[in-house]
Structure 1
């Protein structure tokens, strides 16, 4: 079985610009992939579906030495916008990337949680998103995700978030997709936000089950 890193590089091999960009970052940073792309890889039998590219890739990078992330972006003349958490939103061909420095992770900047790669899985709002892959160590950190799978229950990991309404929508989507139930706390959040205007706007932007009401 190939590692996720090798599988990822194989998946994007024809997009030379994206491939070289990530490899360039790897020379000066530790790289961690988080969220949906990692979850898809595991659900697909520890491989990527070459015919179904993940909608985006979330990367957290930890600076070691050499060029900074910003310097690499500038040197490679890669256009970007800032995402809602202060990181960089990039599209290179069909490859969409959200990338940010580990120290700038929202949970680390807005709580007493130590800014450490082992805490990345604890920095997410929902346990289903608590999954991290470490490129350098070829290792998964996914205790929260494994618990969600084992108990078939969606629960809160890190309760502080500036976008709780988005996570409420995600909880509904995950519950339907994975046939999971809600913890009491998640059920209260969904009930609280389902009539919120921001919640409804998020639903109507697409990709969320139609039975949300």
Structure 2
């Protein structure tokens, strides 16, 4: 899928006459009217990129260049709560929105990445396929260099390796790859094996871990691909 096609599909999705879309669009347009320098970021754009729009049922992540103080003022009518990472969360018409000031995103706030704009924002995502942002108002898409290659190959890899919860991300990597039927890149495979922690009820993840161990031992520079057969088993 080209980036122009992606922009068109998201626009058509939001402007469709499904019962909830006008309400969803109203929320987004209200935010953009008060926070014009903002982008939709994360899972929604990733799923549309992978042609999985029908599967998208997650939160809608928005990042703005506006200050946290401005953000708090704009979101007050939605009665948001502040999460532990400094973003604001609210629910409207069945959708959950997470809204961040760029300066409060984790990697920027912890001075791991200097970010002045949305191109820099794309450097901060752990996964390559999350490194995409859409300015809905201006119809502009930003990506990291690794995004388009990962999209073309349907390959999940590491974009930025720092994360406050490595074991959580190791497990999430398996979940996302299986759910979206993506291969796992060599660096991500090693990261998973180094960081994953499993409990007694993690039989699915244990099977993947055992397969990954064999794969990395014999093919350390190649992508790990047998996830599509296991995607139905994930829970």
Say whether the fold is shared (TM-score over 0.5): yes
Aligned to 1:63: 66
Shift of 1:19: 4.3
* Separation of aligned partners in 1, 2:158 and 2:193: 15
Q: 2:102–2:115: 8 Å Cα contact kept in structure 1?
A: no
Q: Point out 4+ residue stretches in structure 1 off by more than 6 angstroms.
A: none
Alignment of 1:21-60 (within 5 A): 21-29=27-35, 30-44=37-51, 48-49=53-54, 54-60=57-63
Between 1:97-106 and 1:21-30, the stretch displaced more is 21-30
Task: Compute the displacement of 1:88 (Å).
Answer: 0.9
Deviations 1:76-134 (A, max 9, x none): 2x222222421011111301111111121111122142232111221100112112111
The worse-fitting range, judged by mean Cα deviation, of 164-173 and 7-16 is 7-16
Give 3-state SS (helix, strand or coil) of 2:38's partner.
Answer: strand
Q: Which has the higher contact order (CA 8 A, sep 6+)?
A: 1
TM-score (ref. length: structure 2): 0.69
Q: Contact 1:121–1:144 (CA<8 Å) still a contact in 2?
A: no
Contact residue 12 and residue 18 of structure 1 kept, 8 A: no
Provide closer, same or farther for how the CA distance between residues 160 and 115 of structure 1 changes in structure 2, counting only shifts above 3 A: farther
Q: 1:91 to 1:177 in 2, by over 3 A?
A: same
Aligned match of 1:133: 134
Report the equivalent of 1:176.
178
Alignment gaps of 5+ in structure 2 = 206-229
Which has a greater percent of helix?
A: 2
Q: Structure 2 CA distance, aligned partners of 1:6 and 1:178?
A: 22
Residue 209 of structure 1: how far off its partner (Å):
5.8
CA distance in 2 between counterparts of 1:97 and 1:12 reads: 19
Matches within 5 A, 1:82-97: 82-97=82-97
Question: Whole-Å Cα distance in 2 between the matches of residues 11 and 105 of structure 1?
Answer: 33
Q: How many residues align?
A: 197
Larger radius of gyration: 2
1:121 matches 2:135:
no
Report the RMSD for the aligned CA atoms in angstroms.
3.2
Q: What's the CA shift for 1:55?
A: 2.1
Question: Residue 174 of structure 2 aligns to a residue in which SS?
Answer: helix
Match of 1:100 in 2: 100
Partners in 2 of 1:11 and 1:69 — Cα distance? Answer: 29
